[in-house]
A and B are shown apart, each in its own frame.
Chain A
Amino acid sequence: MQIKILKPGLMSTIQDLGRHQYLSQAVPVSGAMDTLSARIANKAVGNQDNAAVIEFTYADAEFVAETDLLIAYAGEGAIFQSGQQILPPERPLFVPSGATIKLINNPSGSRTYLAVAGGWDVPEILGSKSTCLLAGFGGLEGRVLKRGDVLKNVQELTNNTQQIVHYFEEKLQKNSKKYKVGYPGWSIPRQAHLPADAKTIRVVPGNEFGWFNGRSIANFLSAPYIVGRQSNRMGYHLEGAAMERLKHQELLSTAVMPGTIQVTGSGSTVLLMADCQTTGGYPRIAQVAAVDMPLCAQLKPGDAIYFKDITRGEAEMLYIEREQQLHQLTIAVQNKFL
Chain B
Amino acid sequence: MPNRAFKIYYLSETAVTVEFGQQIAEDLLTAVNSLNLLLHQQPFPGFNTTVPAYSTLTVFYDPLVVIKSDLPGAGCLAKVSGYLGDLNLQMKTTNSVKGDTITIPVCYGGTFGPDLAEVADLHQISIAEVIKLHSAATYKVYMIGFVPGFAYLGGMDERLATPRKATPRKLVPAGAVGIAGQQTGVYPLDTPGGWQIIGQTPLKMFDRDRGQPSLLKAGDMVVFKAIDIHKFNELLAG
10 tightest A-B CB contacts, nearest first: A279-B145, A255-B58, A25-B214, A255-B51, A319-B13, A254-B53, A254-B56, A252-B54, A27-B148, A207-B9
How far does the alpha carbon of A25 sit from the alpha carbon of B148 in the complex, in Å?
Answer: 6
Interface residues of A in 164-211 (CB under 8 A from B): 204, 207
Chain B residues within 8 Å of A, Cβ to Cβ: 9-15, 17, 19, 22-24, 48-56, 58, 60, 63-64, 67, 75-77, 143-150, 152, 189, 206, 208, 212-214, 217-218
Contact A277 B145 (CB under 8 A): yes
Within 8 A of B (CB), among A253-285: 253-255, 257, 259-260, 277-279
Decide yes or no whether A331 CB sits under 8 A from chain B.
no
CA distance A22 to B67 in the complex (A): 24
**Distance between Cα atoms of A26 and B49 in the complex (Å):** 12
- Inter-subunit contact B13/A24 (CB<8 Å): no
- Taking each of B12, B23, B143, which has the highest tally of chain A beta carbons within 10 Å of its own beta carbon? B12
A135 CB–B CB distance under 8 Å:
yes
- By beta carbon, the residue of chain B nearest A280 is B145
* Interface residue? A126 (CB, 8 A): yes
* Complex-state Cα separation, A272 to B171, whole angstroms: 24
Are A290 and B208 in touch, CB under 8 angstroms? no
A279 to B143, CA, bound (A): 9
Interface residues of A (CB under 8 A from B): 20-28, 125-126, 132, 134-137, 204, 207, 249, 252-255, 257, 259-260, 277-279, 287, 289-290, 312-313, 315-316, 319-320, 323
Nearest to A290 among chain B residues (CB) is B13
B residues less than 8 Å from A25 (CB atoms): 144, 148-149, 206, 212-214, 217
**A to B contact number (C-beta, < 8 Å):** 126
Interface of B, helix, strand, loop or mixed by DSSP:
mixed
Which residues of the partner chain A approach B19 to less than 8 Å between Cβ atoms?
A: 254
| Interface pair B23/A252, CB less than 8 Å apart | yes
Of the A-B pairs whose beta carbons lie under 8 Å apart in the complex, a sample of 29, sorted by A's number, is A21-B48, A22-B148, A22-B213, A23-B50, A24-B51, A25-B144, A25-B149, A25-B213, A26-B144, A26-B145, A26-B146, A26-B150, A26-B214, A125-B208, A135-B206, A204-B10, A207-B17, A252-B54, A252-B55, A254-B17, A254-B56, A254-B58, A255-B51, A257-B12, A277-B147, A279-B146, A287-B11, A290-B14, A316-B75
A259 neighbours in B (Cβ, 8 Å): 12
Q: 14 extra interchain contacts, Cβ-Cβ under 8 A, other than A26-B145, A134-B147, A279-B53?
A: A20-B48, A21-B48, A22-B213, A25-B206, A27-B213, A126-B213, A253-B143, A254-B55, A255-B53, A257-B12, A257-B15, A278-B51, A279-B51, A323-B63
Within 8 Å CB of A278, what residues of B?
51, 145
Contact A316 B77 (CB under 8 A): yes
List, in ascending order, chain A residues with CB within 8 A of B212's CB.
Answer: 25
Q: Specify which chain A residues have a CB less than 8 angstroms from the CB of B12 in the assembled complex.
A: 204, 257, 259-260, 287, 290, 315
B206 — nearest CB in chain A belongs to which residue? A135
A316 neighbours in B (Cβ, 8 Å):
13, 63, 75-77
Question: Which one of B54, B75, B218 contacts A254 once the chains associate, using CB atoms below 8 Å?
Answer: B54
Q: Give the docked Cα–Cα distance between A102 and B159 (Å).
A: 61
Closest to B50 in A: A24
Q: Which residues of chain A are near B10, meaning CB under 8 Å?
A: 204, 207, 287, 312
Closest Cβ neighbor of A132 among chain B residues: B148
Q: With both chains docked as a complex, state the minimum distance between the C-beta of A168 and any C-beta of chain B, in angstroms.
A: 33
Shortest distance between the CB of B19 and any CB in chain A (Å): 8
Residues on A with C-beta less than 8 A from B143 are 253, 279
